[in-house]
Structure 1
Amino acid sequence: MEQRSKIAIIVAGGSGTRMGGTMPKQFLELAGKPVLYHTISAFVAAYPDMQVVLVVPEAHFEPARQVLACFDTPPPVTLVQGGETRFHSVKNGLQQVQDGSVVFVHDGVRPLLTISLIRHCYEQTLLHGNAIPVTDMKDSVREVNGEGNAARNREQFRIIQTPQTFLSEQLLPAFELPYDPLFTDEATVVERMGHRIHLVQGEERNIKITRPLDLVIAHALLAKGGE
């Protein structure tokens, strides 16, 4: 299989307001290390040639450097200033990407992704041009509109995760498009360029930490282990 350079753009711009505290959630402690430490660690462990671009607000540069200082051997991480929206933050991170790469775009507050998922996304991207991890919906779904609401078949929907992974020749041109509020993730941007989106099986443990309960769950999942 073809081998390409690998770049992980980790977006960590949250303010932490939903966690009920002043510290942004990506810097909260999880099993003795900051949340962001676990996220970065997964990527550098997946491939020895992985490069990491960490996109954070300028005000968070110093806390981000403190996270990197937690590593015994500091990983190759480039700090980049975030933008007004996720789209603009990712676009800033993409300035560090050379063509001919596989690019992972990941939420900094998804610290429990596994090495296996990262490698699977990479391999599937080489085959299909992109790989978007998803999980099945377990709850009933209703669509709400101005006239009321209606039940929908949950089998027709999937929950989107990250790392959303792309060949650079798909992702870089897509982010030259003008910003559109409908760009809710990287897949929607690439899809606008006419590329077909390839879904892969995500992981139940790959949760996004946004509220205090998520941190409790993450502690339990880390204690349980798994790769």
Structure 2
Amino acid sequence: MAGRLTGKRAVVTAAGQGIGRAIAAAFLAEGAEVLATDLDAGKLDGLAGALPSSLDVRSDAAVAEFAGRAGRVDVLVNAAGFVHHGTILDCTDAEWELAFDLNVRSMHRTIRAFLPGMLERGNGSIVNIASAVGADATAPNRYVYGASKAAVVGLTKAVARDFIRSGVRANAICPGTIQSPSLDERIAALAEMNKTTVEAARQAFIDRQPMGRLGTTEEMGALAVYLASDESRFTTGQTHVADGGFTL
């Protein structure tokens, strides 16, 4: 069934690569008008049909200004985030601040900016990218990442509950390990840190997935289409885990 998002206008953050880009592409394929944003607007090249904008989701002023000129928004997808490696003993104050500012407070900023318009129209879908780590499971050396993604789940549920009778829904996607440019960077860094090969480091990520493979960004895009569409209009406040069985 094509055209599942026809007539909807969506904002997607971190649409330059990885899950955010796949969601933007999936939305476009289903007929949505997509305002694709990224800190580096150059990464948005190639998203044919999207309306690209540079956006720093860590800036209150930038988010407010963007929302002020965005017009009607029916769907908000918060995909910006960063994965820190290490335990509580490795986590610096700067890493803590970055993790919570980018992974959590950025969503606070965008939701606060776009929610009033959704409430005025009595309709809207908010999709936050959380993680299987911090939602239903933990993983070694993911201390501050897991903590911040657990906060995303709490934020999502709180927004869903507060506006449950106002026509606005909020749900979270909790991916397992997904093949993406950011994963490639983490694999390379891990290989260097452990003095092993990139291939061995990649296999370690694959081995922790019970299905025996990494997830794809396209699979996350398909789930986001469902949550953005009217097909899920009876669904709110939920964590949608797509992790290849990692949390079983």
Q: TM-score under structure 1 normalisation?
A: 0.39
Structure that is richer in strand per residue: 1
Structure number with higher helix proportion: 2
